[in-house]
Amino acid sequence: MSRSLPSRSELGREILARAAALARHSDSATNYTRTYLTPAHQAAARDIARWMREAGMEVRVDAVGSVIGRYAANDAGARTLLMGSHFDSVRNGGRYDGVLGILVPIACVAELNARGERLPCAIEVAAFADEEGARFQTSFLASRAMLGRLDPAVLERRDAQGVALRDAMIVAGLDPARIAEAAIDTSRLGAYVEVHIEQGPVLLDEGHALGVVTSIAGGTRHTLTVRGESGHAGTVPMPRRHDALAAAAEMVLAIEKRCAAGGSLVGTVGMLEVKDGTGNVIPGEVRFSADIRAGDDATREAAEADAFAACESIAKRRGVTLERTRTHHVHAVPCAPWLQDALARAIEAIDAPRPRNEVRRLPSGAGHDAMILAEATEVGMLFVRCGAGGVSHNPAETVDAEDAGAAAQALLTLLALLAKKGSGSFLARAEKGT
């Protein structure tokens, strides 16, 4: 690549300006919430498609609403390097989670296009429509659909207002009967690379702008329903009660205690609902969530077995019933060593904050679309430092423009390495699994 890399601050400011523009597309007037197939979600998709076209990409919207831009290779038969992330959000979340991993590669493709440069591989940037699953509890819906592994049963799931997913698709102009058409030919994939904010404080605390992800923690989510017996709060003696909420509260603490064993193991109860809750009525039914993750599957599975056995014991002792449904499951995923090394070389090649000239390698405790793509190709991830103490999934979430620009420079450098080595040397490694 003959032209020098563009200014880091220039790249970063443009990326953050676009993140701010996307943040205006929110389901809420008071916070940043963008869930699958809402009007705000569709408006964000249109902006992303426009930026992809401006960057020189051909754009398509797949059968589940993901926006995919393609920058063709200099060889029509070349393999594809897929990059991307998601543009839906959690409720009252942060504006960089997911979005950064779409905007950084778009900026890189725009630079290649400005140079009139094509690579030995095609580049596709995927803006996945639904990763968080906040509206229909459908985590990784879009990336699963891309691999042809979306269970059609999810079409019957309903949001908090009772709207079925299939009906939401129809309103958004999508055909639920055609979700299988979102599947791509995975034999043409050379690799998948995802840029993402760290969602934690490690890079910030250690002074690194960027980091290389070594692995992604596996996790499961469950919905637990506790049924007891409702009754008058003033007339039922305490020893005679079958209080569903009191039982659920004890179960929440049991899950917390088991998942506090240390290491990469974490457990979270993020939702708790008292059915027909009233101040003067003993709760008769309670539903709550449980999210359990760890860097390796064996640790997570052992914690789940212990935690849910404790919940069953609590239910028996308190005279309530317990039902549990697993709503989400992903295995722990290692990132490809050769992609880790390539990303590390890219970071070393740019002048980004890097204490002792070392590239930081670290695991991800959060889930990412890369976990799903790993079922079809080898994956790599580049972490970008968070500000505000490393907080994420929170309105305080922030990224510095210099760091966003550094991520774009590192990704451009990775593409330069690929162009120099050629697809036979770089992407063929994915095919061989070396």
Helix (H) or strand (E) holding 52: helix 39-54
Residue 1 placed within a domain: no
Q: Which of 330, 353, 381 is the last residue of a domain?
A: 330
Give the model's pLDDT for residue 426: 53
Write the CATH number for 237: 3.30.70.360
Distances (CA, A) of 434 to 338, 378, 425, 429: 7, 10, 11, 5
**143 contacts 85 by C-beta, under 8 angstroms:** no
Task: Assess whether 233 and 190 both reside in one domain.
Answer: no
User: How far, in whole angstroms, is CA 351 from its chain's centroid?
Assistant: 28
What digits encode the pLDDT tens for the residues 273-314? Answer: 999 999 999 999 999 999 999 988 999 999 999 999 999 999
Task: Assess whether 260 and 365 both reside in one domain.
Answer: no
What digits encode the pLDDT tens for the residues 234-282? Answer: 999 999 999 999 999 999 999 999 999 988 899 999 999 999 999 999 9
Give the model's pLDDT for residue 12: 96
Task: Assess whether 158 and 242 both reside in one domain.
Answer: no
Contacts (Cβ under 8 Å, ≥6 apart) of 359: 208, 210, 211, 212, 344, 347, 348
Structure tokens at 146: 């891309």
Confidence of residue 430 (pLDDT cuts 50, 70, 90): very low
Q: Which of 330, 352, 385 is the last residue of a domain?
A: 330
Dihedral sign from CA coordinates of 350, 111, 390, 199: negative
Task: Assess whether 103 and 89 both reside in one domain.
Answer: yes
Residue 3 placed within a domain: no
Q: How far apart are CA 45 and CA 127, in angstroms?
A: 8
Q: How far apart are CA 391 and CA 366, in angstroms?
A: 12
What digits encode the pLDDT tens for the residues 14-68? Answer: 999 999 999 999 999 999 999 999 999 999 999 999 999 999 999 999 999 999 9
Contacts (Cβ under 8 Å, ≥6 apart) of 325: 222, 223, 225
Residue 174 placed within a domain: yes
Q: Structural domain tally of the chain?
A: 2
Four-CA torsion 135, 33, 177, 180, nearest 10 degrees: -100
Mean pLDDT value of segment 408-431:
71
Task: Assess whether 274 and 133 both reside in one domain.
Answer: no
Task: Assess whether 288 and 388 both reside in one domain.
Answer: no
Q: Which of 312, 330, 348 is the last residue of a domain?
A: 330
Task: Assess whether 136 and 271 both reside in one domain.
Answer: no
Residue 132 placed within a domain: yes
Q: How many CB atoms within 10 Å of residue 176? A: 17
Task: Assess whether 349 and 420 both reside in one domain.
Answer: yes
Task: Assess whether 23 and 102 both reside in one domain.
Answer: yes
* Mean of pLDDT over the chain: 93
Task: Assess whether 171 and 183 both reside in one domain.
Answer: yes
Residue 117 placed within a domain: yes
Give the model's pLDDT for residue 268: 97
User: Phi/psi of residue 321, each to 5°?
Assistant: -105, 155
Write the CATH number for 362: 3.40.630.10
What digits encode the pLDDT tens for the residues 75-102? Answer: 888 899 999 999 999 999 999 999 999 9
Task: Assess whether 144 and 190 both reside in one domain.
Answer: yes
Task: Assess whether 279 and 408 both reside in one domain.
Answer: no
Q: How far apart are CA 344 and CA 136, in angstroms?
A: 37
Residue 310 placed within a domain: yes
Can you give the residue range of the structural domain that contains 304? 218-330
Angle subtended at Cα 376 by Cα 370 and Cα 381, rounded to the nearest 5 degrees: 25
> Any bridge partners for residue 291, and if so which?
221, 268
